[in-house]
């Protein structure tokens, strides 16, 4: 009978007494827990787009703060789309395609709002969203440059 060393018992255990691992465990070990790159890049984009869609589906977002309400909602628009364009940049690897995709989504979001009671679509909001996108890309560019080693110096 074959014998092997068990790390748990400190001695030897006959192979006939070992319980085989289920196939799913064997496959999981072979996979090493790696998630496909496509999922890690695009899942955050899809999730954030879903958040924007959900917020656009709310009939009224009036906070009751009067003039501040308008300012806060527009700042929220800019922030939502700044985050979206950064996530898109991460997924596609380039600023211009990320910006084009984000603007396209902003347009479809405004069209979606025309079907929500108490909301309306506005080209002005697409412009405000685009300003947020440009701010997001500027912050991204600045943080990428700040993290890069200075020219002429070793990293």
In angstroms, the CA 27 to CA 31 distance is: 6
Residue 91 included in any domain: yes
Q: What is the SS3 string spanning 9-71?
A: CCCEEEHHHCCCCCHHHHHHHHHCCCCCHHHHHHHHHHHHHHHHHHHHCCCCCCCCCCHHHHH
- Decide if 72 is inside a domain: yes
Task: Assess if residue 10 is contained within a domain.
Answer: no
Confidence of residue 114 (pLDDT cuts 50, 70, 90): very high
47 found inside a domain: yes
Q: Tell me if 96 is assigned to some domain.
A: yes
Mean pLDDT over each residue of the chain, to the nearest integer: 82
Q: How many domains does the chain have?
A: 1
Q: What is the DSSP letter of 1?
A: -
Q: Is 115 part of a structural domain of the chain?
A: yes
Domain span at 138: 37-147
Indicate the burial class of 107 (C-beta count within 10 angstroms; 0-12, 13-18, 19 or more): middle
**pTM (2 d.p.):** 0.71
Number of Cα atoms under 13 Å in the Cβ half of residue 87: 20
**Residue 5 falls inside a structural domain:** no
Instruction: Give the whole-angstrom CA distance, residue 27 versus residue 32.
Output: 9
The reported pLDDT for the residue numbered 33 is 64
Question: What is the reported pLDDT for 154?
Answer: 47
């Amino acid at each position: 009978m074959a014998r092997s060393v068990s790390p748990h018992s400190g001695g030897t255990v006959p192979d006939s007494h070992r319980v085989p691992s289920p196939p799913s465990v064997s496959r999981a070990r072979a996979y090493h827990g790696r998630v496909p790159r496509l999922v890690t890049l695009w899942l955050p984009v899809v999730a954030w787009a879903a958040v924007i869609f959900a917020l656009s589906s709310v009939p009224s977002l009036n906070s009751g703060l009067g003039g501040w309400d308008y300012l806060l909602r527009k700042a929220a628009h800019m922030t939502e789309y700044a985050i979206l364009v950064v996530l898109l940049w991460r997924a596609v690897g380039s600023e211009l395609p990320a910006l084009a995709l984000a603007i396209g989504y902003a347009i479809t979001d405004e069209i979606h709002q025309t079907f929500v009671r108490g909301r309306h679509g506005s080209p002005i909001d697409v412009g405000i969203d685009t300003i947020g996108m440009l701010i997001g890309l500027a912050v991204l560019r600045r943080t990428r440059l700040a993290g890069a080693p200075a020219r002429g110096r070793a990293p």
